[in-house]
Amino acid sequence: MVDRSKFYIDGAWVSPVSSKKTTKVVNPATEESMYEIALGSKEDVDKAVAAAKRAFETFSRTSREERVAILEKIIAAYKARMNDIGAAISDEMGAPLPFAEKFQAGAGLGHLASTLDVLKQYDFEEPIGTAVVVREPVGVIGMITPWNWPLNQIACKVAPAIAAGCTMILKPSEYTPTSALIFAEILHEAGVPKGVFNLINGLGPDVGAAMSEHPDIDMISFTGSTRAGIDVAQRAAPTVKRVSQELGGKSPNIILEDADLEKAVKGGVAHVFNNSGQSCNAPTRMIVPLSKMQEVSAIAKGVADKTKAGDPRGEGTNIGPVVNRTQWDKIQALIQKGIDEGATLVAGGPGLPEGVNKGFYVRPTVFANVTNDMTIAREEIFGPVIAILGAKNEDEAVKIANDTPYGLAGYVSAGSVEKAREVARKIRAGNVNLNGVPNERTAPFGGYKQSGNGREWGKYGLEEYLEVKAIAGAA
């Protein structure tokens, strides 16, 4: 039974040091409070950091084999809790239960497994001339994770930090705390040494700020909005700690003249609607030949009309609600902005879906004839809303694609992989997917420009948690 009134610090479940503050966790499908969680303070952060700092002295010196054994035990314990994790995510952020169990919980397991494979093969030392270059753990890591893919983001930070020999403090989102608490139980069951992993629930201005500013935290790994990421970086600057960030996105999806139009449009729209549009790398700007705008709009409308927004535990549900009232209000305002600024509303629109009278549900929405200066083409909506833009030719499509402060992901569909690859090289983004192929979990994930810095996943994710030391004369 998850104890939401306590934190996990130094290998034990403990009460907050001083704060008696709590917050309610609301089910977005019913708008009803399910329970309350304890909120931490700077004092709790100090306590967790002290534990992590002590643990680093010994954990940083563990062997590869010891860390491999720990990850193997974590994976075994995680597999036994997959259904618990899926149910918690479904209840707290609204993902349909089958999706939450298979993809949300499954993403966490995938990162644990891929990190284990990387660790088994990674070379922590290499000779360069007369020197030996050694890769060593950074130190104590502060981790701040979001609510949209809770275990995906927790696992792709915690797994490589453990593999590197770092110790850590995690502040999960206050909207999705239970899956994180279950994860702490998994690590405890797996025998992770005390102080290596610590968890504090809390709010960004309290716990997040204290972590970012803490002089004994050597690195912050943050996933969230660009606005919050800027604040984290500013607070971290006086201590010159490393800051790795995965932030917002407004990803372009270029569909070229010779692409399989039906496949590309259907796949692109479905990707945006996936997870109720709450994915930072969603291809929310579909850029198509102007001559095909009407045909593309009709295909997109067909996808929207068949996408059922409803009860996450219900039959036939494709997407659940968005996470909370604040997000719902923001999405509604942006949908209305699209209408007011002259975009063509093809499907969906403001208000609740048909047959729904409560919950933070958004109608799957398609806008056509969007121009790149419209608000819905500039701002990250983070809901099931897609903007279709027209381009006269390939060069204009690339220009539109890159005309954004973001650079997390890009998508290209073309008649040949060679052509798609040629266009992909012109897109200023950290990840580009060709012809509907999904991300490769062992390849790096992260963004250009205001979508962040640093990389996660696979070997590149492990290296974020390693310092590089040159020992001259050691070769």
Q: Which residues have a catalytic role annotated?
A: 246, 280
Cα distance between residue 339 and residue 94, in whole Å: 27
Tokens of 233: 């970086």
Helix (H) or strand (E) segment spanning residue 13: strand 12-14
Strands 344-347 and 409-413: unpaired
Phi, psi of 91 (to 5 degrees): -65, -35
Expressed in angstroms, the distance from the first to the final Cα of the chain is 53
Q: How far is CA 95 from CA 32, 340, 439, in A?
A: 16, 30, 20
Tokens of 465: 């948690």
DSSP 121-178: H---EEEETTEEEEEEE--EEEEE--SSSHHHHHHHHHHHHHHHT-EEEEE--TTSHH
CB 407 within 8 A of CB 449: yes
Residue labelled with tokens 């609204």: 94
Cα distance between residue 277 and residue 157, in whole Å: 23
3-class SS at 425? coil
